[in-house]
Amino acid sequence: MSLEEEINKRRTFGIISHPDAGKTTLTEKLLLFGGAIQSAGAVKSNKIKKAATSDFMEIEKQRGISVATSVMAFNYKDTKINILDTPGHKDFAEDTYRTLTAVDSVIMVIDCANGVEAQTKKLMEVCRMRNTPVIVFINKMDREGQDAFDLLDEIENTLDIKVRPLSWPIGIGATFKGVYNMHEKHLNLFDSNKTKIEQDIVSIKNLDDPALTDKIGEQAADKLREDVELIEGVYDEFDEEKYKSGEIAPVFFGSALNNFGVQELLDTFIKIAPFPRSRETNVKVVNPTDKDFSGFIFKIHANLDPKHRDRIAFLRICSGKFERNKFYQHVRIDKKVRFNNPTSFMAQDKSVIDEAFPGDVIGLYDTGNFKIGDTLTEGENMEFQGIPSFSPEIFKELINKDPMKTKQLEKGIQQLTDEGVAQLFIQQPGNRKIVGTVGELQFEVIQYRLKHEYGASAEFQPKNFHKACWMTSDNDEKIDEFARRKAQYIAKDKDDNYVFLAQTAFLLQSAEADYPEITFHTTSEFKRAIA
């Protein structure tokens, strides 16, 4: 099969939502309909003991939330689908932002009762930065919630994007009976089944079919006909190109938990979702069809399998063909590297692959060579752009509670901060470790993982800092002078760059005024350009 044919078979997308909108459940049901798994387990269901397929870290199973990005691949109707299930919790937004650089489109899950929530708005802003195509799945229609038309208005007004329903719910809550697929002009009615696909599906080809009234009742049938007529009159015809340019969001309704509406979403998705897209580098725009291989690291995860203490870097392939055991250029360290066991993922299940193509996300076993944002190429020196990174908002000092496990603690905090869940700053004297995050939950996860994956006991003491600012200047002496004068507020990051830990916004402004020769960066993105 040619490179172009392989590219056209692939769809790589992320699933995003506010916490508890049902994102991880939808992910599982897509795998279920795709035949990748045979039964699904609700994350918080006591009756079903199997934890959600994509939540494999122990702390996720305990809390019922996703705190790490999961990568899953499966084949459906001759299409290779790569799903990146992202953390919904706001404290892990940075991981989600980085993941969105590795996808070509997004499915956004919205709870029909809660509508558009704070995290949904933030995630939509990130999609906007890259004009990422968005499909909306309005979930939990089997529960009481807002009117479907009101939800559409709220999405348009709050997220500032046009919408076009491609499926429509029949009732809501206790009266919910299924969904009408407006894109394909037929209706599928399902029996509620949380774990397996219902085999006995009634398919009604158009709304005038008398069987519609027989199945759902006269009142529900008349309401559905009225709603569809109104939609066709109010909303423009669905325009696939406008969707692909991020101007319009197709909307689907359903209940992921009970398998309503998921197949309509999946069948339409593989028809309209974009193929792997072009990516910008500091040298040129890379097209998927370029014959030379290139890709970038957007995530690193240590101890994916605690028994083997492995560390895996997740690579998004952007162009050419990746081949096992072939040497590639690691641009940042200017070194040739090769990989004996590149892996493909079905959640925590991994399989070794011999080749992969643009759009694919593969795992590379890493001994510490990779950092987030690193580029691999077939030889060309270029770096992919726009891997977002932010100044932390919360700072705490890491305190070792067991001096006998100092080495384990050092290794653990180094590896965990390499993953991008937090940033590490070293202060002198005494090599004091300051950990910065965007949310409190990250400290809980780090503490848990240090204990259970590295055997290191630690606690965190809050530090009163406003921002971490990296410093650059054409005059190195000015940075050295500033570092001497502000020694108690100076730290170094893991790349040995000076960082000013400003206590307040006023003190940061004062520093900028007193040292105009120094640029104070509130993002660490600049480091990749000078590393």
* 49-104 tens-digit pLDDT: 344 544 445 555 554 444 344 788 888 999 999 998 776 555 555 677 778 889 99
C-alpha to C-alpha distance for 28 and 22, rounded to whole angstroms: 10
Flag whether 387 is in a domain: no
Quick one: CA dihedral 463, 464, 470, 471, positive or negative?
negative
Same domain, 263 and 287: no
Amino acid residing at 183: H
pTM greater than 0.95: no
Taking residues 253-263, what's their average pLDDT? Answer: 87
What pLDDT score was predicted for residue 392?
84
Which of residues 344, 377, 410 is at a domain's end?
377
Flag whether 383 is in a domain: no
If pLDDT is split at 50, 70 and 90, which confidence band does 109 have?
A: very high
The answer to whether 187 and 180 have CB atoms below 8 angstroms apart is: yes
DSSP secondary structure string for all residues of 425-482: EEETTTTEEEEEESSHHHHHHHHHHHHHHH---EEEEEE--SEEEEEEES-HHHHHHH
C-alpha to C-alpha distance for 177 and 309, rounded to whole angstroms: 48
SS3 label, residue 31: helix
Flag whether 385 is in a domain: no
Which of residues 315, 344, 377 is at a domain's end?
377
- CA nearest neighbour of 423 among 458, 365, 372, 363: 372
Peptide bond just before 429 cis, omega within 30 deg:
yes
**With 70 as the cut, is the pLDDT of residue 306 above it?**
no
Same domain, 155 and 229: yes
Flag whether 389 is in a domain: no
If pLDDT is split at 50, 70 and 90, which confidence band does 250 have?
A: very high
* 313-350 tens-digit pLDDT: 899 999 999 999 999 999 999 999 999 999 887 645 66
* 455-478 tens-digit pLDDT: 999 999 999 999 999 998 988 899
Flag whether 348 is in a domain: yes
* 506-525 tens-digit pLDDT: 999 999 999 999 999 887 65
Same domain, 177 and 81: yes
The total number of structural domains in the chain stands at: 3
Same domain, 120 and 260: yes
Flag whether 388 is in a domain: no
Same domain, 41 and 171: yes
Flag whether 386 is in a domain: no
* 391-423 tens-digit pLDDT: 788 999 999 999 999 999 998 898 888 777 788
C-alpha to C-alpha distance for 449 and 306, rounded to whole angstroms: 10
CA 39 to chain centroid: 24
Same domain, 234 and 298: no
Flag whether 120 is in a domain: yes
C-alpha to C-alpha distance for 320 and 368, rounded to whole angstroms: 25
Residues 6+ apart with CB under 8 A from 498: 470, 471, 479, 483, 490, 491, 492
* 379-394 tens-digit pLDDT: 899 999 877 666 788 9
Q: Beta partners for 26? A: none
Same domain, 229 and 262: yes
Same domain, 367 and 469: no
What pLDDT score was predicted for residue 405?
93
Which of residues 213, 238, 272 is at a domain's end?
272
Same domain, 53 and 104: yes
Q: Beta partners for 362? A: 315
Q: For the chain, what's the residue count? A: 531
Residues 6+ apart with CB under 8 A from 187: 170, 178, 179, 180, 181, 203, 204, 207, 212
**With 70 as the cut, is the pLDDT of residue 197 above it?**
no
Same domain, 398 and 475: yes
Same domain, 201 and 89: yes
pLDDT above 70 coverage of the chain, percent: 83
- CA nearest neighbour of 112 among 182, 171, 67: 171
The total of other beta-carbon atoms located within 10 Å of residue 273's CB is 22
- CA nearest neighbour of 126 among 150, 90, 154, 157: 90
**CATH classification of the domain holding 165:** 3.40.50.300
The answer to whether 388 and 101 have CB atoms below 8 angstroms apart is: yes
C-alpha to C-alpha distance for 500 and 9, rounded to whole angstroms: 48
Q: In this structure, what are the phi and psi dihedrals at residue 25, rounded to the nearest 5 degrees?
A: -65, -45
Q: Which domain holds residue 97?
A: 3-272
- CA nearest neighbour of 132 among 16, 305, 296: 16
Same domain, 267 and 316: no
Q: In this structure, what are the phi and psi dihedrals at residue 109, rounded to the nearest 5 degrees?
A: -100, 130
**CATH classification of the domain holding 496:** 3.30.70.3280
If pLDDT is split at 50, 70 and 90, which confidence band does 124 have?
A: confident
